[in-house]
Amino acid sequence: MPLIRFVDRLSYALALLSGIALCSVALLIVAEILLRKFAGISLHFLWEYGVFVHMTAVFLGAGWTLRTGGHIRVTLLRGLSPRLFELWATLLGLVISSMVSNALVQMAWGYIKSGRTTGTTTNTPLAIPATIMAFGAVLLTVQIALRLLSIALGRDPELATTGEDTPAPIMD
């Protein structure tokens, strides 16, 4: 299906962006420590932006993590009726993810309308990280809906690989 392929490619690209963002924050934290220790310089923006980047990275990578089976599973009930459990667990996940997405979209929209900022020296508009988080949450919700469709059609809801040369690890 073209829609599934598009969402998968978008999820993969956002997962890569998420990884790059997290590595960048880690490098900036190391730079902050070294600069403060040896040059007496502080990157005052880093701790605030680090939190924003971390929060957005979690949401941007969530869709691809789900699609490749990288999420944590509780397999106790799954053994009783695997197909039925997958269906109900995915449906419950869709409901919860929809509620989270709705809340994050409303929060982002409120920040956009109000123009609210962090109130710190950088005075960053809160709409920027909130919108990115909302986008990631909505993409996760779409990925869960497509997972539900795959289960209903009797297809494997997870990809066999993570986009790398090695298969995705099974975490049962």
| pLDDT on residue 161 | 59
Is residue 74 one of the residues assigned to a domain? Answer: yes
| pLDDT on residue 43 | 86
| pLDDT on residue 162 | 53
Is residue 167 one of the residues assigned to a domain? Answer: no
Is residue 19 one of the residues assigned to a domain? Answer: yes
Is residue 158 one of the residues assigned to a domain? Answer: no
Is residue 171 one of the residues assigned to a domain? Answer: no
| Segments of the chain with pLDDT less than 70 | 73-79, 160-172
Q: How many structural domains is the chain composed of?
A: 1
In the chain, the N- to C-terminal Cα span, in Å, equals 28
Domain extent at residue 130: 2-152
Instruction: Decide if 86 contacts 144 (C-beta within 8 A).
Output: no
Is residue 67 one of the residues assigned to a domain? Answer: yes
| pLDDT on residue 172 | 39
- Rounded Cα distance between 75 and 26, Å, is 34
| pLDDT on residue 102 | 98
| pLDDT on residue 91 | 95
Residue 63 tokens, joined = 């869709």
Is residue 157 one of the residues assigned to a domain? Answer: no
